Amino acid sequence: MEINPAITFKHDRSVMYSKRPKVLIVGAGLGGLTLGMLLHKADIPFEIYERASEVKPLGSAMYFNSTTANLFKQCGIYDEFVAIGKYVSSLQFCNEDRQVDFHVYFTGHESEFGAKGYIVTRPQLYDLLLRQIPKERIHLGKKVLTMDQGGNGVLIRFSDASEAEGDILVGADGAYSAVRQGLYAKLKKTNKLPLSDDLPLPFSTWSTFTTAQNTVAYNVVLFLDEETSKTNDAFRNSEWGPEAAMAMCEEVKDFPVISGGNKELTLGDLFAWSNKEQISKVMLEEKVFKTWYDCRTVLIGDGKTMHFSPSGGAGAANAMHDAIALANRINGLPFHPIADEIEDAFKEYKAERIDWVITAFNSSKTLKNMAGQSISSMIARTIMRNIPGWLMRRIETRQFCHRPQVAFLPLVEDKGTFPPAHQPSLSVNAPQEGKSQDPADDISEQATVVV
């Protein structure tokens, strides 16, 4: 396939067969799987390409609440999600003396926002989403080398010398997205990349969670300054795995952990009890990019936002919300969409998501700060410990009113006393087979009838 940016087809949709755009998704993480699940339900052709040669059960626990409950219910997986999750009524913030400083309570959320919150391990949630997608749609060992796009489609080339062609390219391949890097490199050459998207990234406690399976999930965050970030930079593009993590485990093994029993535990005890193949290390950086799309290429999840605090499920929930909004827009595209129509859909997708992403990003930074050891962290904990109930309710209402749904699946009844926020893409309709997609054609047909 030859990609020519100058080519823009003018389709005569009145005589062409109904064809939905083919979507190429790079990255089989939670965001990529969610988008694939939704496109599968919309009967939109798609393929998922993952650079890893095998799916590894890596990752700690994540928290999901009413903001994703409607999605799970619409897709028919909510009951199974609840079965593998553990209900969370509160979060405890503790000090290094193994004492509880304060609680953040979530009681009343089911009546106010329509659903409870649950802790679930990433491997279990990943498996749940993976089972919703036909196996033949997921291709492993596909590392992207180059990408091209233009008026007549997109083309990606992989390290195994294979290629893939489609109409839309979605970068769902995480914080160091190969799709984003390729897209930005081309935009930079044409002076279309904002300066802020080309600047070096700033780098950015420990948390433990008990699960419904009577296991303990944990994560440790090591905050890096400009100098220490250089030491850790070698891990930036490495695969998750035990080799990169062992040195860090040794560094933090003496941190105390609340055990709930008589023995005083440390993180070293958790490391000793863990399967070393399931301990991983990744670099987390913080930034919201301005450029989310160009032509036929679009980014979701950490591909456009790096990185949410790993202490909750903010990053995963954000990627799922991206998938909902983008799937709604792709489903609303006309048959045989041209590049301009696709880019307009991406523009609406970003307009719908950007404010929510920034809000979630700032909330994640606040949560991260509360777990730190700086003066500002201590001030943040003091404020949270003494925050008035009415103000906490106002903060929660802003956060949990975002309860998006999939436009092309049967809507679920949202029983929260606080209504969900407006969702523009919920009104987007799919094209109707046999009906003209060109407004000019409709006018011409009506004129003919009148004459």
| Residue 168 near residue 342, CB atoms below 8 Å | yes
By residue count, the chain amounts to 451
pLDDT at 106: 77
pLDDT at 229: 54
pLDDT at 332: 97
Q: Check which CATH number belongs to the domain holding 170 and give it.
A: 3.50.50.60
Question: Is 43 a domain residue?
Answer: yes
Question: Is 269 a domain residue?
Answer: no
pLDDT at 424: 96
Question: Is 367 a domain residue?
Answer: yes
pLDDT at 441: 45
Stated pTM of the model: 0.81
pLDDT at 368: 67
- Count of domains forming the chain: 1
Q: What CA–CA distance (Å, rounded) separates 287 from 211? A: 30
pLDDT at 255: 82
pLDDT at 377: 73
Question: Is 217 a domain residue?
Answer: no
Question: Is 205 a domain residue?
Answer: no
User: 422: domain range?
Assistant: 23-200+285-427
| Whole-Å CA distances, 388 to 238, 393, 399 | 45, 9, 17
SS3 of residue 266 by DSSP: strand
| Residue 305 near residue 284, CB atoms below 8 Å | no
Per-residue pLDDT tens, the chain, 451 aa: give them: 455 555 554 555 554 556 899 999 999 999 999 999 999 999 999 999 999 888 776 777 888 999 999 999 999 999 999 999 999 887 777 776 777 777 777 777 888 999 999 999 989 999 999 999 999 999 999 999 999 998 889 999 999 999 999 999 999 987 678 888 888 888 888 888 887 776 655 444 667 778 888 888 888 777 665 555 555 554 444 444 556 677 788 878 888 887 777 788 888 888 888 887 777 776 665 667 888 999 999 999 876 655 555 445 577 899 999 999 999 999 999 999 999 999 999 999 999 999 988 887 777 777 666 666 677 777 877 877 777 777 777 877 888 899 999 999 999 999 899 999 999 999 999 888 755 455 444 433 333 222 2
Q: Which tokens sit at 356?
A: 């929510």
Q: What CA–CA distance (Å, rounded) separates 18 from 111? A: 44
Provide the b/e sequence for 97-120 (b: ≥16 CB within 10 Å): eeeeebeeebeebbebbbbbbbbb
Complete edge-to-edge strand list for the sheet that includes strand 144-150: 144-150, 153-158, 163-166
Question: Is 450 a domain residue?
Answer: no
Q: Which tokens sit at 59?
A: 């990752």
Question: Is 49 a domain residue?
Answer: yes
DSSP of 62-119: EEE-HHHHHHHHHTT-HHHHHHHSEE--EEEEE-TTS-EEEEEE-TTHHHHHSS--EE
Question: Is 365 a domain residue?
Answer: yes
Q: What CA–CA distance (Å, rounded) separates 451 from 448? A: 5
